[in-house]
Structure 1
Amino acid sequence: HGRDHMIRSVLEGVMFQMYSVALALTEAGVEPVEYRAGGGFARSELWRQIMTDMFETDMIIPESHQGSCLGAAWLAMKSLNWIDDLSSIQNILQTTVKHTPIAENVHTYRLLKPIYLRLARKLPDEFSAISDVQRELMEHNQ
């Protein structure tokens, strides 16, 4: 495997974790209307496509990659009563790119997601075991 494979594996690992967070929200009764990717990672076409394929839905990429900053600014303006509601942010967040899932990739992620989720759900016990070892080593070294 080369450098490109390693980079992709890291990007996929992050997306698997984001998928598991989205799944937890869905299981808690939060149904997304649409997904939008923003922030620095959204500058990577590959990363956006991985997210689109893993989430099995179209992904909308806003023009600005500073969505968090803009959101915070709009919340501040609302709290100061400078704006009536938060909907005005839609006037400045224009969509520039829409990604569509690639069927072959969706198929691959459908096979991998259950494995990832099973592994992720088993890790808390292992994290506790690591924590126990760390405590024992700290006590031993004192």
Structure 2
Amino acid sequence: DVVVFGGGLAGCECAIHLGMEGKRVHLVEMRDQLAPDANVRHRPLLLKEIDKYVTVHTGYKGLEVTAEGIWCEDSNGEKVLVPGTSVICALGQRSRTDVVEALMDTAPYVRVIGDASRVSTITNAVYWGHHAALDI
């Protein structure tokens, strides 16, 4: 069994890929909804594939990774083991504003884009990068 820890777009796509390879996949997500960051037209197709290949555990807060899998707390506060001999971490991230601030005066023109500005999608990062380049 494989546990994918994080049910955003990247975690869902990873879980589907592993399921299609024949692995038994468990997807653990703290929120009640999978892939809220997915495109509105892509998400329904993604969820169909999830239903086909993946065992989903939403509302589960990860507590500890062990050799047996991930110990989680469900929405009722119960401690539950999601079994797996391999764990893939696909958790969200936060912007590192301290690093951004340290670099602001290192060049005549600095534009903060992508996850350094606000955690988002690769599509948004490319869009912001393109427009930053146009401003140079």
TM-score (structure 1 length as normaliser): 0.30
Decide which structure has greater strand share: 2
Return the index of the structure with the highest Cα Rg.
Answer: 1
TM-score normalised according to structure 2 size: 0.31
More helix by share: 1
